[in-house]
């Protein structure tokens, strides 16, 4: 090969490289503008670059949510007679705890009472719901114990728990929490304060897009046992309104700030009230290992775990809790999924602590 041939070959290679580089930049711009990678301030990113998503998990978009389940009637009566497997506890590795983020803690709730008796399952009454339920009962890939919900399969014969996060949205911790759920194809429930939603719309839209449940925690984190009936209704409705405005999904469950309630609250919330039976006290300790220790080795099938989205330490704990529980055989589901699979029709103004 003479000198001119070498020059021609080099120029041709450079031209091809330039074409691919230009296309890669164009693809990145398109991907970024869709909300999957941060386009602008990292503080309001709807996703974290480099996250590897589990099979079937689609990263969040800041646009209109698609395929979001808000009617769980198709899950009723699935697996209620099957024997539930008991997971084998395994020791959890201790992560390095990051410096704690200063944030206003939520007041500790009063001691949880025993869970109420389960209510009878309500059969779907419309033809569409009946068809959906019938399809769910046929199973997935020939397995009658598998049902599809929020973009992944749930085995109704295996243990499941609901990890819940209060007081958000909080972009940094929230996106870290969703990142680890995405890696393992699991789902969580976020009880959010309404007046924090609009300024963190991308994060909240990501919750919906990735199949998490968005839920009500009042509009301004008001202790409802200290206000009148009209204020209770206003706090609940305003929170539902802003979440629906931002995501297109209206919450169907709520949690009382601090777990505080009285007879006026229980007559005016007009939504199912979800409390918890495992309190990590992460708001108090703000220590990742303490939060891990409160969950791993203590959680059982049907439990509802309380954590808070405000703290980096809680996000760090989640990065160990999720893979550890999955490794022990637990499925991490939303509160509404857990209730529906257990055949519990959630009733407004009824208080629920777990679904065992």
Residue 5 lies in a domain: no
- By residue range, what is the domain housing residue 80? 34-352
Give the pLDDT of residue 69: 54
pLDDT in tens, the chain (356 residues): 555 554 565 555 444 444 333 333 333 333 233 332 222 333 333 344 444 444 444 444 333 343 455 566 556 544 433 333 434 444 444 433 333 333 344 444 433 333 333 333 333 334 434 433 444 445 788 899 999 999 999 999 999 999 999 999 999 999 999 999 999 999 999 999 999 999 999 999 999 999 999 999 999 999 999 999 999 999 999 999 999 999 999 999 999 999 999 999 999 999 999 999 999 999 999 999 999 999 999 999 999 999 999 999 999 999 999 999 999 999 999 999 999 999 999 999 999 999 99
Residue 206 lies in a domain: yes
Residue 15 lies in a domain: no
Integer Cα distance of 84 and 4 in angstroms = 75
Q: Report pTM.
A: 0.68
Give the pLDDT of residue 142: 85
Residue 65 lies in a domain: yes
Integer Cα distance of 288 and 107 in angstroms = 19
Active site residue 36: no
Residue 13 lies in a domain: no
Nearest by Cα to 238 from 223, 260, 216: 216
Residue 297's alpha-carbon distances to 276, 282, 300, in angstroms, are 17, 17, 8
Cα maximum dimension of the chain:
93
Give the pLDDT of residue 3: 52
Name the DSSP letter for residue 36: S
Nearest by Cα to 331 from 172, 206, 184: 184
Is 156 within 8 Å of 341 (Cβ atoms)? yes
Nearest by Cα to 356 from 162, 213, 70: 162
CATH number of 348's domain: 3.20.20.370
Name the one residue in this structure whose structure tokens are 């297109």: 248
The catalytic position among 166, 179, 282, 312 is 166
Is 222 within 8 Å of 255 (Cβ atoms)? no
Residue 172 lies in a domain: yes
Residue 10 lies in a domain: no
Integer Cα distance of 112 and 302 in angstroms = 15
Give the pLDDT of residue 314: 98
Give the pLDDT of residue 217: 98
Give the pLDDT of residue 140: 82
CB-based contacts of 95: which residues, under 8 Å, 6+ apart? 288, 289, 292, 316, 317, 319, 320
Give the pLDDT of residue 141: 81
Q: Establish how many alpha carbons lie within 13 A of residue 206's alpha carbon, considering only the half-sphere containing its beta carbon.
A: 28
- Provide the token pair at 332: 């991490």
Integer Cα distance of 251 and 16 in angstroms = 51
Active site residue 166: yes
Residue 126 lies in a domain: yes
Nearest by Cα to 342 from 117, 134, 182: 117
Phi, psi (degrees; rounded to nearest 5) at 166: -100, 165
For the chain, how many structural domains are there in total?
1
Give the pLDDT of residue 103: 37
Give the pLDDT of residue 100: 34
- Provide the token pair at 25: 């930049």
């Amino acid at each position: 090969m003479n000198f001119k041939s070498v020059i021609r070959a080099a120029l041709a290679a450079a031209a091809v490289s330039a074409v691919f580089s230009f296309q890669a930049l164009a693809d990145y711009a398109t991907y970024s503008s869709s909300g999957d990678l941060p386009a602008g301030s990292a503080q309001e990113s709807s996703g974290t670059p480099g996250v590897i998503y589990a099979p079937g998990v689609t990263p969040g978009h800041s646009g209109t949510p698609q395929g979001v389940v808000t009617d769980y009637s198709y899950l009723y009566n699935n697996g209620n007679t099957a024997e539930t497997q008991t997971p084998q506890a395994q020791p959890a590795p201790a992560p390095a705890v990051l410096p704690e983020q200063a944030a206003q803690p939520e007041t500790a709730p009063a001691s949880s009472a025993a869970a109420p008796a389960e209510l009878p399952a309500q059969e779907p009454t419309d033809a569409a719901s009946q068809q959906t339920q019938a399809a769910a009962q046929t199973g997935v890939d020939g397995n009658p114990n598998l049902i599809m919900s929020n973009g992944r399969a749930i085995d109704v014969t295996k243990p499941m728990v609901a990890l819940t996060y209060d007081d958000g949205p909080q972009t940094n911790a929230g996106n870290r929490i969703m990142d680890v759920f995405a890696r393992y194809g699991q789902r969580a429930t976020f009880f959010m304060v309404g007046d924090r939603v609009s300024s963190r719309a991308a994060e909240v839209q990501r919750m919906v897009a990735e199949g998490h449940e968005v839920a009500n925690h009042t509009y301004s984190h008001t202790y409802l046992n200290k206000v009148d009936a009209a204020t209770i209704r206003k706090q609940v409705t305003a929170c539902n309104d802003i979440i629906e405005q931002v995501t297109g999904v209206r919450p169907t469950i709520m949690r009382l700030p601090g777990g505080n309630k009285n007879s006026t609250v229980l007559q005016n919330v007009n939504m199912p009230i979800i409390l918890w039976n495992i309190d990590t006290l992460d708001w108090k300790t703000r220590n990742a290992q303490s939060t891990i220790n409160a969950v791993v080795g203590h959680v059982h099938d049907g439990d509802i775990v309380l954590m808070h989205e405000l703290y980096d330490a809680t996000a760090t704990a989640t990065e160990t809790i999720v893979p550890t529980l999955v490794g022990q055989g637990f499925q991490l589901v939303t509160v509404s999924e857990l209730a529906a699979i257990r055949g519990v029709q959630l009733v407004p103004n009824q208080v629920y602590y777990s679904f065992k």
